[in-house]
């Protein structure tokens, strides 16, 4: 049987994991806003700085998108809240048989994909503008207007759901009593129903504004040539972002928490005020006057404390991030250059010794006099005519090492004096079968003048290669490449 302590510990662990999963990304993103690195990251940490907030403020495209998002959000609130209230009131007054059908119709925009709503809104207003022969500068093609209309089609359904949940707790007898006492329908709505719906109106307005502010699927089609905050952020993410996006997240999260704290204080103040009124009614009129003076003294310090904490936090972050930032950046850059230099040196050393492989036996070779016995890395297996040392001193102008110049018929043609050994032009003389020369180099003849046959099968050339001798003989390629054991 599991003890109560273990159950409580498991519940606390689950709650901690839930909040870590919920707020972990926000916390990490908020931390990256204060790192001086060019890309949002927590580690490795460079310098503590608030420069990305300045970059955010100076980003004209982002600021224009933010302004358009606020304008569109306010417009959506103005349209969606009254439409949602009207839909909720209509739902409460229709018959029981019609109510399910009506509810399905008014809620259906929520189920339609935002892409479909955006495209249909754009096409509808384009056809309507063509009907009235309106130009592209008219309201029919205005991106902000089309976005407000397109978002209102489904955000008004959200507002309606908020009003429906509030109206389910409303007592219709209050309206009937007001009408019986001589009040008109407008007076009943303004004096009875509207004060009861006041909390729902605020909630629906906030919900509509936030839904409009973060919408992308519908906005990307209806905004046309304009831009909103979401479309600008999407383009930045597509082509590369910097920590100014994290700075924007910090601002939004801070404002949200600040507004939530203010609303919580206001709610507690209202509850305390209602309890105090009930107590004052029992005690008398003097208690009501004392309540007003006492509430004023209790309300102001809490709100002032929130403002003070907010200003103190921003000021501390600003001054802590601007002092010594340049020195820190210089030190970070120097450390990066030193790390790159060390990496380059390591690669150089690795390339110098990468040819030393254990278990490989090199064929003994003789090096020319005056040359180094150390070969270039990676060329140890190439010997004979493929040896890299064959190229040493082959071009005219290099040290000949005491070689004597040819004389007589052995003198090379003019312009080819610098090419000797395997590159000497006379090596090509008489190498192809069919040339008639008296005494070919590298071939034996019989006394009667006929050519002698090879003494063994190993010396016999392959069929079709009898005419290629000397440096072109196929047998020269045998045992020229270093073989590994």
Residues 215-237: tens digit of each pLDDT: 999 999 999 888 999 999 888 88
- Residue 81: exposed, middle, or buried by beta-carbon count in 10 A (0-12, 13-18, 19+)? buried
Which position has the higher pLDDT, 248 or 433?
Answer: 248
Over residues 131-185, the pLDDT tens digits come to 988 888 888 899 999 999 999 999 999 999 999 999 988 888 888 898 888 888 8
- For residue 82, what pLDDT band results from cuts at 50, 70 and 90? very high
Secondary structure (DSSP) of 42-96:
SSS---B--HHHHHHHT-HHHHHHHHHHHHHHHHHHHHHHHHHHHHHHHHHHS-T
Instruction: Mean pLDDT check: name the lowest of 41-45, 266-270, 318-322.
Output: 318-322
Over residues 286-332, the pLDDT tens digits come to 555 555 544 444 455 556 666 766 776 666 666 655 556 777 778 88
Contact (Cβ atoms closer than 8 angstroms) between residue 320 and residue 48 = yes
- How many Å apart are CA 31 and CA 37, to the nearest integer? 12
Helices 229-239 and 60-93 pack at an angle, to 10 degrees, of 130
Count CB-CB contacts under 10 A for residue 49: 23
Which position has the higher pLDDT, 286 or 338?
Answer: 338
Contact (Cβ atoms closer than 8 angstroms) between residue 223 and residue 118 = no
Contact (Cβ atoms closer than 8 angstroms) between residue 473 and residue 440 = no
Q: What is the mean pLDDT of residues 435-458?
A: 49
What phi and psi, each to the nearest 5 degrees, are found at residue 182?
105, 5
- How many Å apart are CA 35 and CA 332, to the nearest integer? 12
pLDDT at 161: 94
Domains of the chain: 60-242 (1.10.3720.10)
To which residue do tokens 């290629």 refer? 468
Cβ neighbours of residue 150 closer than 8 Å, sequence gap 6 or more: 117, 118, 121, 122, 218, 219, 221, 222
pLDDT at 75: 95
For the four alpha carbons of 453, 459, 465 and 467, in that order, the dihedral sign comes to negative
Q: Say if residue 401's pLDDT is above 50.
A: no
pTM for the full predicted model: 0.63
Cβ neighbours of residue 210 closer than 8 Å, sequence gap 6 or more: 73
Q: What is the mean pLDDT of residues 389-411?
A: 52
């Amino acid at each position: 049987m599991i003890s109560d302590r273990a159950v409580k510990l498991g519940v606390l662990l689950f709650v901690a994991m839930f909040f870590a999963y919920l707020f972990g990304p926000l916390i990490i993103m908020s931390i990256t806003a204060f790192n001086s690195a060019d890309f949002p990251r927590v580690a490795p940490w460079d310098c503590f700085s608030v420069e990305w907030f300045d970059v955010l403020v100076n980003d004209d495209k982002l600021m224009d998108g933010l302004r358009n998002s606020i304008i569109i959000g306010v417009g959506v609130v103005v349209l969606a809240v009254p439409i949602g209230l009207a839909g909720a009131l209509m739902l409460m007054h229709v018959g029981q048989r019609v109510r399910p059908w009506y509810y399905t119709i008014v809620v259906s925009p929520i189920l339609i994909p935002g892409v479909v709503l955006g495209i249909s809104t754009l096409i509808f207003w384009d056809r309507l503008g063509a009907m009235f022969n309106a130009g592209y500068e008219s309201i029919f093609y205005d991106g902000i207007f089309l976005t407000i209309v397109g978002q209102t089609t489904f955000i008004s359904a959200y507002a309606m759901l908020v009003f429906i949940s509030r109206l389910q707790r409303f007592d219709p007898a209050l309206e009937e009593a007001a009408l019986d006492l001589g009040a008109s329908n407008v007076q009943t709505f303004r004096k009875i129903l509207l004060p009861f719906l006041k909390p729902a109106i605020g909630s629906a307005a906030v919900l509509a504004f936030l839904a409009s502010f973060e919408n992308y699927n519908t906005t990307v089609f209806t905004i046309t040539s304009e831009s909103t905050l979401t479309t600008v952020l999407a383009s930045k993410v597509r082509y590369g972002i910097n920590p100014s996006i994290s700075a924007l997240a910090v601002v939004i999260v801070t404002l949200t928490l600040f507004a939530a704290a203010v609303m919580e204080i206001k709610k507690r103040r209202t509850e305390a005020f209602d309890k105090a009124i009930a107590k004052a009614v029992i005690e008398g009129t003097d208690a009501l006057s004392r309540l007003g003076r006492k509430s004023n003294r209790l309300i102001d310090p809490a709100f002032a404390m929130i403002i003070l904490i907010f200003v103190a936090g921003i000021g501390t972050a600003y001054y802590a991030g601007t002092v010594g930032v340049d020195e820190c950046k210089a030190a970070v850059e120097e450390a990066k250059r030193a790390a790159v230099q060390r990496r380059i040196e390591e690669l150089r050393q690795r390339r110098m010794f990468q040819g030393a492989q254990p278990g490989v036996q090199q064929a003994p070779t003789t090096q020319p006099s005056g040359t180094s016995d150390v070969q270039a890395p990676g060329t140890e297996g190439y010997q004979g005519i493929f040896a890299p040392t064959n190229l040493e001193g082959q071009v005219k102008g290099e040290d000949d090492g005491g070689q004597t110049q040819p004389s007589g018929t052995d003198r090379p043609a003019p312009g080819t004096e610098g090419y000797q050994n395997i590159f000497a032009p006379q090596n090509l003389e008489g190498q192809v079968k069919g040339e008639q020369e008296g005494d070919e180099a590298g071939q034996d003849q019989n006394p009667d003048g006929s050519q002698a046959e090879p003494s063994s099968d190993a010396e016999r050339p392959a069929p079709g290669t009898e005419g290629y001798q000397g440096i072109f003989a196929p047998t020269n390629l045998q045992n020229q490449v270093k073989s590994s054991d």
